[in-house]
């Protein structure tokens, strides 16, 4: 498991900033994840910056103003920045979108992180990181959250106060009205919580109203709060579900529980208490699947998967063409 936080991102940029030519006139970030490194680089190089869509429409950001038109004669050397390259499809799409501007500008591309096999897609690439990988700034929008377990309190919503946690009317009110925290941008595999099964109705209502999509909700099947406190098995309850699944990530709010879940399952746990990945205990099976051991096997599997996806897309396009050209 490869994880980088915002501090890592900043450190990598500072270490590799000398690679960027000093004749760059404008930094252009790729929304959304690329805007963070683009902003940092623009600040360190004392350059104006903008996003791709604004750049295509002639806008840049300057201090003292939200947007300003720019004179094309003032900005010739453009650096397009993204946080990472994985399969390479995003940067290829970006190059395609900007192809019509290549006669006006000298456009170069930069990625902070890249997979070893795709670093050549950028003119400047700072650090090679193989997959699987997670970044702090976009972990809640990762495409693999469908194979992740999520805690609720302290992750999807705030924790209840001691007063609210009365196993009665105040607690029910909290369950229905809790302030949201980190709502994922994609579907979650399984939500695993130490909330009692008797509060499933309130919990499902809150999840629906706050746009949390998931496949499964696992709750603690105990009669009341006293029984839960006596059992004192929060981490064990969560680890059991995580262990029995083929999931690759658990998102937990409590650091002590995160460490215990990792110890039991030998699989990564992301902790929102400190925004760090807990992965001190590792399993042989997980490391084989992730590519830590025998990485060539994972690369081969990814090539096959990409080929299957492309083949499916080709077949779908042929089917659409046949339908559109067939006589009525």
Q: Read off the pLDDT band of 265 (50, 70, 90).
A: very high
Q: Alpha-carbon distance 110 to 79, whole Å?
A: 7
Q: Alpha-carbon distance 160 to 179, whole Å?
A: 10
**SS3 of residue 90 by DSSP:** helix
pLDDT exceeds 60 at position 285: no
* pLDDT value, residue 59: 83
Residue range 102-114, pLDDT digits in tens: 999 999 999 999 9
Q: Alpha-carbon distance 187 to 148, whole Å?
A: 9
Let me know: does 286 contact 248? Beta carbons within 8 Å: yes
* pLDDT value, residue 303: 64
* pLDDT value, residue 1: 76
Residue range 58-100, pLDDT digits in tens: 888 766 555 566 667 788 999 999 999 998 999 999 999 999 9
Domain boundaries, the chain: 2-137, 142-282, 291-320
Let me know: does 268 contact 248? Beta carbons within 8 Å: yes
2-137 against 142-282: fold identical: yes
Smallest Cα–Cα separation from 81: which of 46, 124, 47, 115?
Answer: 124
Tokens of 208: 């629906």
Let me know: does 3 contact 133? Beta carbons within 8 Å: yes
Residue range 17-55, pLDDT digits in tens: 999 999 999 999 999 899 999 999 999 999 999 999 999
Q: Read off the pLDDT band of 305 (50, 70, 90).
A: low
Instruction: Name which of 48-52, 291-295, 317-321 the model is least confident about.
Output: 291-295
What is the length of the chain?
328
Q: What is the mean pLDDT of residues 297-310?
A: 63
Q: Alpha-carbon distance 129 to 127, whole Å?
A: 6
Give 327: exposed, middle or buried? Use CB within 10 Å, 0-12, 13-18, 19+: exposed
* pLDDT value, residue 299: 56
Q: Read off the pLDDT band of 57 (50, 70, 90).
A: confident
Smallest Cα–Cα separation from 126: which of 134, 115, 137?
Answer: 115
| Phi then psi dihedrals of residue 114, to 5 deg | -150, 155
The domain 142-282: what is its CATH number?
3.40.50
pLDDT exceeding 70 applies to what percent of the chain?
A: 84
Q: Which sign does the torsion angle of CA 171, 176, 179, 185 carry?
A: positive
User: Which residue has better confidence, 224 or 63?
Assistant: 224
Instruction: Name which of 73-87, 112-126, 271-285 the model is least confident about.
Output: 271-285
pLDDT exceeds 80 at position 316: no
* pLDDT value, residue 319: 65
Tell me the DSSP string of 159-207. PPPTTT-SSSHHHHHHHHHPPB----SS-EEEEEEEEEGGGHHHHHHHH
CATH topology (fold) of 2-137: Rossmann fold (3.40.50)
* pLDDT value, residue 293: 45
| Residues 6 or more apart whose Cβ sits within 8 Å of residue 110 | 20, 41, 79, 80, 81, 82, 122, 123, 124, 125, 126
Instruction: Name which of 22-26, 155-159, 179-183, 318-322 the model is least confident about.
Output: 318-322
């Amino acid at each position: 498991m490869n994880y980088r936080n915002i501090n890592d991102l900043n450190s990598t940029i500072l270490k590799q900033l000398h690679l960027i030519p000093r004749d760059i006139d404008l930094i252009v970030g790729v929304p959304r994840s690329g805007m963070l490194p683009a902003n940092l680089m623009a600040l360190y190089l004392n350059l104006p910056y903008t996003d791709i869509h604004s750049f295509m429409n002639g806008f840049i950001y300057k201090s003292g103003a939200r947007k300003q038109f720019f004179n094309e004669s003032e900005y010739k050397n453009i650096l397009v920045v993204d946080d990472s390259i994985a399969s390479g499809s995003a940067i290829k799409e970006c190059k395609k979108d900007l192809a019509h501007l290549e006669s006006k500008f000298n456009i170069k591309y930069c990625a902070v992180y890249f997979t070893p096999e795709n670093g050549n897609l950028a003119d400047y690439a700072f650090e090679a990181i193989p997959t699987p990988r997670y970044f702090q700034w976009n972990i809640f929008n990762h495409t693999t959250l469908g194979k992740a377990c999520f805690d609720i309190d302290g992750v999807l919503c705030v924790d209840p106060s001691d007063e609210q946690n009365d196993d009665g009317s105040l607690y029910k009110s909290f369950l229905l009205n809790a302030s949201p925290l980190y709502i994922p941008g994609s579907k979650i595999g399984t939500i695993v919580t130490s909330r009692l099964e008797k509060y499933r109705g309130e919990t499902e209502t809150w999840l629906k109203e706050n746009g949390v999509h998931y496949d499964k909700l696992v709750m603690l099947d105990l009669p009341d709060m006293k029984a839960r406190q006596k059992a004192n098995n929060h981490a064990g309850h969560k680890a059991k579900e995580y262990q029995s699944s083929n999931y690759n990530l658990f998102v937990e709010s409590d650091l002590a529980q995160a460490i215990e879940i990792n110890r039991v399952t030998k699989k990564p746990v992301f902790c929102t208490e400190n925004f760090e990945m807990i992965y001190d205990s590792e399993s042989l099976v997980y490391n084989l699947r992730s590519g830590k051991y025998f990485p060539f096997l994972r690369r081969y599997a990814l090539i096959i998967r990409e080929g299957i996806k492309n083949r499916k897309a080709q077949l779908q396009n042929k089917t659409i063409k046949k339908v559109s050209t067939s006589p009525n």
